[in-house]
Amino acid sequence: MSSDMQVFLLPDLGEGLTEAELVNWLVAVGDEIKVDQPIAEVETAKSMVEVPSPYAGTVAELHGQAGETLDVGKPLISIARAGAAPVAPEAPAAVEDAVSTGVTASPEVSAAAETYRTEEKAGSGNVLIGYGTPGGATAGRTRPRKGSVAVVGSVVQEAPLEPALAGTRIPGKLSAVISPLVRKMARDHGVSLDSIEGSGTSGLIMRKDVEAAIATPEAPAAPAPTRAPEAQPAVEGDVDSRTGLAVAARTAVRGVRKAVAANMAKSRSEIPEATVWVDVDATALLEMRAELKKRAPHDTPGLLAFIARFVTAGLKKYPALNTRFETVADGSQEIVGFDGVNLGFAAQTDRGLVVPSVRNAHQLSARELDAEIRRLTAVARDGRATPTELGSGTFTLNNYGVFGVDGSAAIINYPEVAMLGVGRIIDKPWVVNGELAVRKVTELTLAFDHRVCDGETAAGFLRYVADCIENPGGALADM
């Protein structure tokens, strides 16, 4: 392989993910690209991200088709250096092997591998949006991200709303959308992108095209498809051998659903879990929140935020539930404790169930917890949550009461060791001071790993949170 050819391998997308689904190419063979230009949109088990190029030059080869699952460390794109003579793409495996395994190769391949190492280390600092290449000189993009507001660290840059993509096309599509902002706008307004003729280069659908479709009442609006796995119609005559019934559809298990399935199976197979539960009179908590809402209608935390505050305080008293059970390299086992709480909470999205986490939740007030829970819920549903936000929890709070159920035998979010569930709050007969009354009652359910603690610890934590809900004023005053 010529040293003028640069092969960019699919990078680790964070948190040890080993594969990603190629959703869309944002460039085509023959395109001239710049450093940090987004080249592909990929979906991991945790989020949707754009992958920017660490190299400038001419696109020589695209290693994969839309819809294909690619392994981390495998070639993603081959780029000829700017000003280099056109080179026919060669098999990238030799460079990949030289880079990842260190196996002795020919001088030509070794030179290409060394070039990859050198440029990767000194790269743009933006192999992934929001992350960075090793040794990157800057923490942000070297040019504005198109079609969005780029937020990196504490620096906020307003970027142009419409991408300048001269000579860029997306293979296999008559019209296409690159900007996630444009796609979200169409989805939120029920506009079908298939019905829009793009005004950009090669039929690219621009923001102004979607705005025009929204403003045209005659145009019938159809919901845009979600990123959930699509059920494929079964082949005619496809009959299930076990039941004898015709197969109606087959749905590929991938993305978030694939990650959830693997995580839940691992949790069930490795964690000897136990469950304790208790009914709780939440009347005082609802009354306290109603009173606060009268004083500050637009600045009152939600019920989940108050419960989250009680949970973080409870984990301080019962730290065994805020740990991780690990088997180390020599086969011995240990329980890892943490100095702080990253509180995860279950959020249902179009892509499946995800668990974003509020980092250092133990340091936040109920009002601050409420703001962060709302922010993380929004980015998770938009598919913009980072791997760190989705994979750093130490304990999970699950409000399944929003689905109208009272309790659940929950599966612990591996590798955590406990999960607290909150059921719906309903009117129930309750004895108060020896007399029957109607109270607002909910059920708390705690699933815990019996390897890290016994029932006494689990019951103590559950009772502590229950007591805080029943006497929220006193509990908050003591925190």
In a domain, 241, yes or no: no
Residues 385 and 415 in one domain: yes
Residue 370: closest CA among 303, 429, 319: 303
Which range has the worst mean pLDDT, 40-54, 181-195, 267-281?
Answer: 181-195
Contacts of 15 (CB under 8 A, 6+ apart): 46, 387, 388, 390, 391
Cα angle value 130/132/138 (rounded, 5°): 100
Average pLDDT, the chain: 77
pLDDT of 173 higher than 70: no
- Same-domain status, 63 and 208: no
Residues 279 and 211 in one domain: no
Task: Give a yes or no: residue 231 inside a domain.
Answer: no
Q: How confident is the model at residue 477 (pLDDT cuts 50, 70, 90)?
A: confident
Which of the residues 63, 189, 362, 450 is marked catalytic?
A: 450
d(CA 255, CA 383): 12
**Is the pLDDT reported for residue 291 higher than 70?**
yes
Per-residue pLDDT for 119 more than 60? no
**Most confident among 115-119, 145-149, 187-191, 216-220 (mean pLDDT):** 187-191
DSSP H or E run through 451: none
- Do 220 and 277 sit in the same domain of this protein? no
Domain assignment of residue 431, yes or no: yes
Given a cut of 90, whether residue 118 has pLDDT beyond it is: no
Which residues are CB-neighbours of 144 under 8 A, at least 6 positions away?
150, 157, 158, 159, 160
pLDDT at 364: 96
Closest CA to 43 of 414, 375, 392, 385: 385
Q: Which of 47-56, 78-87, 412-421 has the lowest mean pLDDT?
A: 78-87
Digit-coded pLDDT (tens) for 9-67: 888 765 556 788 888 899 999 999 998 898 988 877 656 778 888 889 999 999 988 88
How far apart are the C-alpha atoms of 221 and 138, rounded to whole Å?
A: 43
Residue 242 forms part of a structural domain: no
Q: Is 298 a catalytic residue?
A: no
Q: Give the three-state DSSP class for 49.
A: strand
**pLDDT higher than 50, residue 146:** no
CATH number of the domain bearing residue 289: 3.30.559.10
- The CB-side HSE value for 142 (13 A sphere, CA atoms) comes to 20
Per the domain annotation, does 246 fall within a domain?
no
Does residue 385 sit in the same domain as residue 471? yes
Three-state secondary structure of 97-129: HHHHCCCCCCHHHHHHHHHHHHHHHCCCCCCCC
Boundary-marking domain end, from 200, 225, 250 = 225
Q: Report the pLDDT value the prediction gives residue 311, as an integer from 0 to 100.
A: 97
Burial 245-256 (b: 16+ CB within 10 A, else e): eeeeeeeeebbb
User: Is 256 among the domain residues?
Assistant: no
Residue 335: pLDDT over 90: yes
Domain boundary (206, 225, 244) is at 225
| Token pair listed for 6 | 């640069």
| 297 & 195 share domain | no
Q: Are residues 136 and 284 both part of a single domain?
A: no
For the chain, what is the total number of helices (H) and then of strands (E)?
11, 23
Radius of gyration from C-alpha coordinates of the chain: 26
The closest of 469, 473, 417, 418 to 446, measured between CA atoms, is 418
Structure tokens that stand for 195 in this block: 């019905």
The more confidently predicted of residues 440 and 103 is 440
Are 343 and 375 part of one and the same domain?
yes
Same domain membership, residue 207 and residue 132: no
Tokens of 50: 């754009």
Mean pLDDT computed over 344-358: 88
Partners of 444 in the β-ladder: 278, 422
Q: What band does 419 get if pLDDT is binned at 50, 70 and 90?
A: very high
Quick one: pLDDT band at residue 409, thresholds 50, 70, 90? confident
233-265: pLDDT as tens digits: 666 778 888 888 988 888 888 777 787 788 889
- For residue 468, give both structure tokens: 């805080």
Host domain of residue 459: 271-478
Is residue 68 a contact partner of residue 21, using CB atoms and an 8 Å limit?
yes
Residue 238 domain-assigned (yes or no): no
| Total of domains in the chain | 3
Quick one: CA torsion of 155, 158, 161, 164, rounded to 10 degrees?
-70
Could you read off the pLDDT of 422-447 as tens digits, one per residue? Answer: 999 999 999 999 999 999 999 999 99
Task: Tell me, yes or no, whether 315 and 449 share the same domain.
Answer: yes
The CATH number that applies at residue 42 is 2.40.50.100
Instruction: Among 143, 170, 195, give the residue marking a domain's end.
Output: 143
pLDDT at 89 over 90: no
Instruction: In whole angstroms, give the CA distance from residue 153 to residue 125.
Output: 13
User: Are 387 and 425 in the same domain?
Assistant: yes
Distance separating alpha carbons of residues 305 and 330, to the nearest angstrom: 41
Helix (H) or strand (E) holding 23: strand 19-25
Is 247 a domain residue? no
Proportion of the chain above pLDDT 90, given as a percent: 40
pLDDT at 86: 52
Q: Are residues 139 and 198 in the same domain?
A: no
In single-letter form, the type of residue at position 168 comes to T
